[in-house]
Amino acid sequence: MTQTKVTPAQGKLGILVVGCGAVSTTFITGVLMARKGLTKPVGSMTQYDKIRVGRGADARYLHYADIVPLAKLDDIVFGCWDVYPQNAYQAAMYAEVLKEKDIEPVRDELEKIVPMPAAFDKNYAKRLDGDNVKAGLTRWQMVEALRQDIRQFKAANDCARVVVLWAASTEIYVPVCEKVHYQLSDLEAAMKADDREHIAPSMCYAYAALSEGAPFIMGAPNTTVDIPAMWQLAEQTKMPIAGKDFKTGQTLVKSGFAPIIGTRCLGLSGWFSTNILGNRDGLVLDEPANFRTKEVSKLSTLETILKPDVQPDLYGHGNDEDTQYYHKVRINYYPPRNDNKEGWDNIDIFGWMGYPMQIKINFLCRDSILAAPLCLDLCLLSDLAARAGRYGIQRFLSFFLKSPMHDYTQGEEAVNHLYQQYTMLKNAIREMGGYEPDEEID
């Protein structure tokens, strides 16, 4: 073991969440309840998982907090932005994810979390219609206003550090444009020119967070920090960035189940995935331009695990061009389900001598219940990364994300294989704890 250079987690950690909807309020309520001892943070890796450090006779299995200095739940202070003015208690009751008995014990704390006006552009989320917004601002003015919000929140709550987490709706798809998104100077010029086509509101949040020394986490499939200009800003400010899109239900299953097919050397003809959900996320995704953003994120998982070019006999057939299995993803807005999402997967595989078989997976999940522990882990680990001097894309956080960030300008491929992602996570924790990162990804 070597001496770790991670700065201790002293003082309060401010977690500023973009969005005060189902995911955010479930996350916040759960943390507040857990630190009162009224519930358990089930599903959180940082609170439950154990990692082996050392080998042979020296091997020990330790919780993350016994390896690295994580911020404690008691030290977290919450704030948020939202287009709707309701406080976190009202928003949690409205979301109907949690029962009233699981919200009431922390009602007083939740009521004090009142959303700051959001930096919002209705063209990016046409189905949302809130009036708690920063009206009439250019993109650069949005950045300046958000920076001021972060500074004021940090001072008012005596926070030593702040992390900014996007848990708001999916924006319309913004294709990467080399003229705007590749160089930081071009991005800043576009913001100052109020280029609303290439600069999404989420980019203003990310730019503001990084400029104020706060790590930024993108929990939706938005292009936001997945552009070279933001990577440059993250390097310049020495801040971590992570994204994109919380890996909660169907894609979690896909990233864990596809390796079974690949490891067993079975063939794949097609994988059809469909979902129904009825929360605000479902409402926003009912808009085709917003769904396109999500579709790109969800489609990317399988193709990096089961590769036609590596195993053409197994994965090189299925679609019209006969070059790859057929992969389709659908999301349908269905209000009666609210946050209780249901995902169906129909998987057409083939085995010995090409004989076909089928696998059906039906996951009746609770979207926000699965997302809340991811929010906690991503915030605590991003804060840890910042204190460890890690900046730029945090690849070790890929485990928590549907469409992990990678340097596509250099031909790098994202790691989507769940068990390879877990190895990356464990090695990073070991390394930050002063231990040898002793597992191979192969």
Write down which residue in 339, 364, 389 finishes a domain.
364
* pLDDT for residue 320 is more than 60: no
Q: Are 44 and 378 in contact (CB under 8 A)?
A: no
Report pLDDT digits (tens) over 55-84: 999 999 999 999 999 999 999 999 999 999
Residue 439 lies inside a defined structural domain of this protein:
no
Q: Do 199 and 123 lie in a common domain?
A: yes
Q: Do 66 and 115 lie in a common domain?
A: yes
Query: Model confidence at 186, in pLDDT bands (50, 70, 90)?
Result: very high
**CA-CA distance, 284 to 278, in Å (whole number)?**
10
**CA-CA distance, 431 to 396, in Å (whole number)?**
11
* pLDDT for residue 191 is more than 90: yes
Q: What is the pLDDT of residue 6?
A: 95
Which residue, chain included where needed, has tokens 């590596």? 310
Q: Do 154 and 236 lie in a common domain?
A: yes
Q: What is the pLDDT of residue 321?
A: 60
**CA-CA distance, 8 to 121, in Å (whole number)?**
39
Average pLDDT over the chain, rounded to whole? Answer: 93
* SS3 (DSSP) at 15: strand
Looking at the chain, the whole-number percentage of residues with pLDDT higher than 70 is: 96
Q: Are 139 and 120 in contact (CB under 8 A)?
A: no
Q: Which residues contact 101 (CB under 8 A, 6 or more apart)?
A: none
Residue 55 is classified by DSSP as -
Q: Count the neighbouring beta carbons within 10 Å of the beta carbon of residue 100.
A: 10
**CA-CA distance, 132 to 325, in Å (whole number)?**
46
Residue 2 lies inside a defined structural domain of this protein:
no
DSSP 189-231: HHHHTT-TTT--HHHHHHHHHHHTT--EEE-SS-STT-SHHHH
Q: Do 153 and 228 lie in a common domain?
A: yes
Residue 115 is classified by DSSP as P
Averaged pLDDT, 30-48: 98
Strands of the 159-166 sheet, one edge to the other? 116-117, 76-82, 12-18, 159-166, 216-218, 240-243, 392-393
Antiparallel, parallel or unpaired: β 50-53 and 60-63: antiparallel
Report pLDDT digits (tens) over 131-173: 999 999 999 999 999 999 999 999 999 999 999 999 998 899 9
Q: Do 354 and 295 lie in a common domain?
A: yes
Using alpha carbons only, what angle is made at residue 329 by residues 327 and 332, rounded to the nearest 5 degrees? 160
Q: The domain that contains 395 carries what CATH number?
A: 3.40.50.720
* SS3 (DSSP) at 146: helix
Least confident of 212-226, 227-241, 299-313, 350-364: 299-313
Q: The domain that contains 355 carries what CATH number?
A: 3.30.360.10
Burial of 65 (0-12, 13-18, 19+ CB in 10 A): middle
Report pLDDT digits (tens) over 339-372: 888 999 999 999 999 999 999 999 999 999 999 9
pTM beyond cutoff 0.85: yes
Residues in the chain: 442
Q: Helix 288-303 and helix 250-263: axis angle, to 10°? A: 30
Antiparallel, parallel or unpaired: β 342-350 and 76-82: unpaired
Q: Do 127 and 218 lie in a common domain?
A: yes
Q: Which residues contact 439 (CB under 8 A, 6 or more apart)?
A: 423, 426, 427
Which structural domain, as residue segments, surrounds residue 69? 12-246+368-432
Residue 1 lies inside a defined structural domain of this protein:
no
Residue 442 lies inside a defined structural domain of this protein:
no
CA separation, residue 218 to residues 12, 282, 442 (Å): 22, 18, 28
Q: Do 195 and 78 lie in a common domain?
A: yes
Q: Do 405 and 336 lie in a common domain?
A: no
Q: Are 72 and 10 in contact (CB under 8 A)?
A: no
Amino acid at 364: L
Residue 6 lies inside a defined structural domain of this protein:
no
Q: What is the pLDDT of residue 323?
A: 74
Residue 437 lies inside a defined structural domain of this protein:
no
Write down which residue in 364, 398, 418 finishes a domain.
364
Report pLDDT digits (tens) over 245-269: 999 988 899 999 999 999 999 999 9
Asked, as a colleague might, if the bond just before 244 is cis with ω within 30 of 0, I would say yes
E-strand stretches of 93-215: 116-117, 159-166
In which element (H, E) is residue 358 found?
A: strand 356-364
Q: What is the pLDDT of residue 249?
A: 86
Q: Do 165 and 62 lie in a common domain?
A: yes
Number of domains in the chain: 2
**CA-CA distance, 274 to 342, in Å (whole number)?**
8
DSSP 313-341: HHHS-SSTTSSS-EEEEEEEE-GGGTT--
Closest CA to 80 of 92, 93, 64, 94: 92
Closest CA to 9 of 130, 160, 158, 137: 160
Q: What is the pLDDT of residue 3?
A: 61
158 conformational bin, left if phi > 0, alpha if psi -120 to 50, beta if neither:
left
Q: Do 222 and 286 lie in a common domain?
A: no
